[in-house]
């Protein structure tokens, strides 16, 4: 069994004001005496002190219930997925080991991102872009049919079943290039998956794959996953992220540079009015950030790497996935029927005898 390092638990803050357990001691001011790593209520692991006042202290804690939420999501997926057609990772087992939640999965290869990184960020061949993208759409459609949103789609959360590869010499770049032998993959990381009836956090998704309605705080649902699919497909095709930014205003400026102006009604509805002035994005193109966006971003179709039909269909699909208005964006079900995917079929994987565990 391979040990796979897990992410930290979902951060939270806990205000300590009183306690009942006689096994703990108070200081002279009546506050709980605690140590880093202590558990509160068998759920919250104490990290650091965030602040304190007259009557209490605020502690930075990790919520171990987050792992249970992922387990719940994975178990529900497997209940619906009797034939292994969801293309989601299979949870084989889970257990609590000395306070650490451990999740056991079938053994996979490298992530789609790590393979590309190890390959000097060379884009995937078009046929593999098509196959990987189709599998992602199939997996997301399965989740959406369950009335669930993944909310953290990105190449890091897509694992090849096997990352065995062929190595050839690329005379253009004058270096070895890896081509994965099989582009079969599985979708992973359901720690942020959200059912329609559950509370929806204001902000979801990793920055580069975040939909405009999330940035503008207009509310979100399944279409935010579809936007992420569009961003991922572009990255597989080009070898770099479409929106390379870490700030909301710049992110919106990049969107407008690549996809055109944001719809007026979305701007008007947004509570993030600080980004706009008189209905337009408040953005100085003469600033250093403005120059960066102008020099590094261009209209979407100008990123085409070829003139064949597959490239035309690819960018046609991208335009429909990266539609600003969620209600006009293609659904995952509709995307499956796009001409770019003609001839593709849903694969069915059997579970592997090998496994790896993730500790949380």
pLDDT given at position 54: 63
pLDDT of 261 higher than 70: yes
Rg of the chain, C-alpha, whole Å: 23
Quote the pLDDT of residue 174.
84
pLDDT mean over 60-70: 80
- Tallying the residues shown for the chain, one arrives at 360
Overall average pLDDT of the 244-269 stretch: 95
Can you tell me the distance from the alpha carbon of 105 to that of 355, in angstroms, rounded to the nearest whole number? 5
Contacts with 12 (C-beta within 8 Å, 6 or more apart), sequence order: 44, 61, 62, 63
- In tens, the pLDDT along 186-221 reads 999 999 999 999 999 999 999 999 999 999 999 999
Q: Please give the average per-residue pLDDT across 26-52, as a whole number.
A: 78
pLDDT at 3 over 50: no
pLDDT higher than 60, residue 6: no
CA distance 265 to 324: 11
pLDDT given for residue 274 in this prediction:
86
Mean pLDDT of the region 305-325:
97
Kindly report, residue by residue over 165-193, the tens digit of the pLDDT. Answer: 999 988 887 889 999 999 999 999 999 99
pLDDT at position 348 is 57
Task: Return d(Cα 239, Cα 89) in angstroms, integer.
Answer: 25
From 91-105, 137-151, 255-269, the region with the lowest mean pLDDT: 91-105
pLDDT at 15: 53
Q: How far is the C-alpha of 136 from the C-alpha of 152, rounded, in Å?
A: 13
Can you give the pLDDT at residue 292? 95
**Calpha distance 313→331 (Å, rounded):** 17
pLDDT digits (tens, 9 = 90+) for 121-149: 999 999 999 999 999 999 999 999 999 99
Residue-level pLDDT at 26: 75
Show which residues are catalytic: 152
State the pLDDT at residue 195.
96
The CA dihedral of 99, 206, 226, 124, to the nearest 10 degrees, is -100
Write the CA distances from 322 to 114, 120, 134, integer angstroms. 24, 27, 16
pLDDT tens digits, one per residue of 18-29: 444 445 677 777
Q: Is the pTM of this model over 0.85?
A: no
Mean pLDDT of 333-347: 91
Mean of pLDDT over the chain: 88
d(CA 227, CA 332): 10
Is the per-residue pLDDT at 8 higher than 90? no
At residue 349 the predicted structure's pLDDT band, cuts being 50, 70 and 90, is low
- Which of 84, 66, 99 is CA-nearest to residue 190? 66
What is the pLDDT averaged over residues 86-100? 91
Rounded to whole angstroms, the Cα distance separating 219 from 252 reads: 17
Cβ-count burial of 89 within 10 angstroms (0-12 exposed, 13-18 middle, 19+ buried)?
Answer: buried
Look at residue 4 and tell me whether its pLDDT is greater than 50: no
pLDDT at 126: 97
Helix, strand, coil shares of the chain, percent, nearest 5, are: 35, 20, 45
Residue 83's pLDDT is 81
């Amino acid at each position: 069994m391979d040990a796979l390092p897990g992410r930290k638990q979902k951060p939270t803050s806990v205000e300590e004001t009183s306690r009942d357990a006689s096994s703990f001691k108070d200081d002279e001011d009546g506050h709980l005496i605690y140590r880093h790593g202590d558990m509160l209520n068998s759920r919250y692991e104490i990290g650091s002190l965030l602040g304190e006042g007259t009557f209490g202290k605020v502690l930075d804690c990790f919520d171990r219930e987050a792992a249970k939420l992922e387990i719940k999501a994975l178990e529900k997926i497997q209940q619906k997925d009797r034939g292994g057609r969801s293309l989601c990772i299979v949870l084989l087992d889970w257990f609590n080991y000395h306070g650490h939640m451990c999740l056991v999965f079938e053994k996979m290869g490298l992530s789609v991102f790590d393979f590309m990184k190890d390959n000097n960020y060379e884009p995937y061949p078009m046929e593999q872009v098509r196959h990987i993208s189709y599998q992602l759409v199939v997996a997301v459609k399965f989740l959406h049919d369950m009335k669930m949103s993944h909310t953290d789609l990105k190449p890091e959360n897509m694992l090849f079943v096997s990352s065995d590869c062929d190595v050839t010499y690329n005379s253009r770049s004058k270096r070895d290039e890896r081509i994965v032998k099989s582009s079969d993959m599985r979708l992973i990381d359901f720690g942020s998956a959200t059912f329609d009836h559950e509370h929806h956090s204001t902000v979801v998704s990793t920055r580069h794959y975040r939909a405009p309605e999330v940035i503008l705080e207009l509310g979100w649902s399944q279409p935010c996953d579809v936007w992420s699919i569009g961003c991922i497909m572009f990255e597989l095709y080009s070898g770099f992220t479409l929106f390379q930014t870490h700030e909301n205003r710049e992110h919106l400026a990049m969107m407008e540079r690549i996809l055109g102006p944001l719809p007026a009604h979305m701007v008007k509805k947004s509570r993030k009015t600080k980004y706009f002035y008189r209905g337009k994005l408040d953005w100085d193109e003469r600033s250093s950030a403005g120059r960066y966006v102008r020099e590094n971003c261009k209209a979407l179709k100008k990123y085409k790497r070829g003139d064949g039909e597959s490239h035309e269909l690819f960018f046609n699909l991208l335009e429909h996935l990266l539609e600003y208005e969620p209600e006009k964006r293609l659904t995952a079900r509709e995307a499956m029927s796009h001409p770019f995917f003609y001839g593709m079929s849903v694969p069915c994987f059997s579970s592997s005898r090998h496994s790896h565990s993730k500790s949380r």
